[in-house]
């Protein structure tokens, strides 16, 4: 007797990606058991029709996605027919095995990791993830390979043999043999946990062996410039053109909070007029896609005006002629030396300086600072924004007036 199988496509609102697109999943139900997997298709939420399991509209993109869904459904029914021809039961387990083309008991860690990286690479090509995310997973894969050789002199291992001890040993290896910090090794473990969690979702594993493994994190000591150091850099007389340019690019970030990649990609379209009638920069962060909304303070505005006719920007919509990140950080070391700044300058220190010295120390509420920095959570802003002794002194003046003798 033929087993009843239902095939559906569902849009998962809970898994919207960073571009706020809805992922479409294939769901197969056989005898109350379910097999669910991504189709690697994404749509704008308002275009998805849940009742029909189709994308609405007549655009070329919509037609292509619906055609892909039809092809996936036909493939599922081919698998069903193949199982019947082989006198096998049509079960979720057998359909899953047909889908992935192999027995789960033979699936290996590095094989899964490699396939996940290939899938992630396709999503990067489609603009759904940043290339830096792909690089991080490739780095984790490289360290996993070296760990397996170091620990067991092996090339790979079966997924089913993973245990919580594997994660602990891997982190120990990263911190002792590769001398990584706790936070850096923790990021590698998080990448590993994400891949294994996906394996559980795809029912390649019955349970997550790393579910109860806690990844430790230490809030980093984030350096920033004091108001005096910031003014020292601003007022230093510099005759070397490349250092003068670097100084301006650094100060621009100190007064806007923008990271290097976001300053480098600033164009005229990001320059807006705010509700207050003043110029603002409004731009989604490259890292997260969350919008940074920053009113242009006079020092930042002066820098923009200084370079608006720069020949390096000719035939370009870019706002600033910033050199490469490597050059900027090399020149910042020189700049710090000639200005007598004890902290080794990097471009990212400017972002911390904006959070701490420029905004919080001058009374800007932390929720506004968080919005300007494009943070998802105020907790992230709190890491950047350390309260200085000067701020404590200013904030407690009212107490001294109240309790003075």
Q: In this model, does residue 153 exceed pLDDT 60?
A: yes
Q: In this model, does residue 102 exceed pLDDT 80?
A: no
- Separation in Å, CA 379 to CA 133, 225, 376: 22, 21, 9
Q: What is the pLDDT of residue 105?
A: 67
Its CATH architecture, for the domain 227-395, is: Orthogonal Bundle (1.10)
15: confidence class by pLDDT, cuts 50, 70, 90: confident
Structure tokens belonging to residue 311: 């020949």
CATH number of 106-201: 1.10.150
Mean pLDDT of 330-342: 94
Q: Could you read off the pLDDT of 206-264 as tens digits, one per residue?
A: 889 999 999 988 876 778 899 999 999 999 999 999 999 999 999 999 999 999 999 99
pTM check: above 0.75: no
Whether the CB-CB separation of 124 and 133 falls below 8 Å is answered with yes
Provide the percentage of residues in the chain whose pLDDT is more than 90. Answer: 52
- Beta bridge partner(s), residue 108: 158
Distance between CA atoms of 333 and 319, rounded to whole angstroms? Answer: 24
Smallest CA-to-CA distance from 356 within 382, 376, 375 is with: 382
Listed by start position, the domains of the chain span 5-101, 106-201, 227-395
Task: Provide the mean pLDDT of the chain.
Answer: 88
111: confidence class by pLDDT, cuts 50, 70, 90: confident
Q: What is the pLDDT of residue 374?
A: 85
Distance between CA atoms of 198 and 205, rounded to whole angstroms? Answer: 9
Q: What is the pLDDT of residue 367?
A: 87
- Separation in Å, CA 172 to CA 164, 185, 188, 327, 381: 13, 9, 12, 35, 30
Which residue in this structure is represented by tokens 């490349």?
A: 242
Q: Could you read off the pLDDT of 349-374 as tens digits, one per residue?
A: 999 999 888 988 888 888 888 888 88
Q: What is the pLDDT of residue 396?
A: 72
- Separation in Å, CA 346 to CA 187, 323, 338, 343, 388: 22, 14, 15, 9, 20
Other beta carbons less than 10 A from residue 47's beta carbon = 17
- Beta bridge partner(s), residue 26: 9, 37
Q: List, edge to edge, every strand of the sheet that includes 271-273.
A: 271-273, 279-284, 291-295
What 3-state class would DSSP assign to 209? coil
Q: What is the pLDDT of residue 13?
A: 87
Q: What is the pLDDT of residue 390?
A: 63
Q: What is the pLDDT of residue 382?
A: 76
Q: In this model, does residue 344 exceed pLDDT 70?
A: yes
Q: What is the pLDDT of residue 305?
A: 94
- Separation in Å, CA 307 to CA 48, 300, 310, 312: 46, 11, 5, 9
Q: In this model, does residue 103 exceed pLDDT 60?
A: no
Other beta carbons less than 10 A from residue 30's beta carbon = 20
- Beta bridge partner(s), residue 30: 5, 33
Other beta carbons less than 10 A from residue 227's beta carbon = 15
């Amino acid at each position: 007797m033929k087993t009843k199988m239902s095939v559906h496509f569902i849009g998962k609102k809970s898994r919207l990606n960073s571009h706020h697109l809805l992922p479409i999943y294939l769901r197969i139900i056989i005898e109350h058991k379910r097999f669910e997997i991504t189709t690697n298709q994404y749509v704008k939420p308002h275009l998805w029709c849940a009742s029909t399991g189709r994308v609405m509209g007549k655009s070329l993109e919509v037609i292509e996605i619906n055609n892909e869904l039809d092809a996936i459904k036909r493939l599922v029914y081919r698998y069903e027919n193949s199982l019947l021809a082989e006198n096998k039961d049509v079960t979720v387990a057998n359909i899953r095995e047909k889908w992935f083309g192999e027995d789960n008991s033979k699936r290996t860690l590095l094989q899964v990791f490699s396939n996940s990286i290939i899938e992630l690479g396709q999503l990067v090509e489609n603009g759904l993830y940043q290339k830096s995310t792909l690089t991080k997973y490739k780095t984790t894969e490289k360290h996993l390979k070296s760990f397996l050789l170091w620990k067991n002199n092996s090339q790979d291992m079966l997924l089913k043999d993973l245990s919580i001890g594997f994660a602990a040993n891997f982190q120990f290896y990263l911190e002792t043999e590769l001398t990584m910090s706790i936070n850096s090794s923790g990021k590698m473990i998080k990448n590993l946990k994400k891949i294994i969690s996906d394996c559980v979702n795809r029912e390649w594993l019955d349970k997550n062996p790393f579910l109860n493994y806690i990844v430790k994190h230490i809030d980093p000591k984030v350096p920033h410039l004091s108001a005096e150091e910031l003014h020292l850099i601003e007022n230093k007389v510099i005759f070397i053109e490349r250092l003068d340019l670097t100084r301006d690019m650094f100060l621009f970030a100190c007064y806007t909070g923008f990271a290097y990649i976001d300053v480098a990609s600033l164009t005229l379209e990001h320059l807006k007029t705010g509700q207050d009638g003043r110029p603002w920069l409004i731009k989604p962060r490259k890292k997260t896609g969350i919008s940074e909304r920053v009113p242009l303070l006079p020092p930042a505005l002066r820098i923009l005006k200084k370079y608006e006719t720069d020949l390096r920007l000719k035939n370009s919509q870019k706002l600033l002629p910033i050199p490469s990140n490597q050059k900027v950080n090399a020149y910042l070391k020189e700049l710090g030396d000639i200005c007598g700044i004890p902290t080794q300058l990097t471009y990212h220190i400017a972002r911390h300086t904006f959070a701490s010295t420029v905004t919080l120390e001058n009374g800007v509420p932390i929720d506004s600072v968080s919005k300007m920095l494009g943070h998802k959570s105020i907790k992230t802003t709190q890491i950047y924004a350390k309260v200085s002794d000067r701020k404590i002194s200013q904030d407690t003046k009212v107490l001294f007036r109240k309790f003075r003798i």
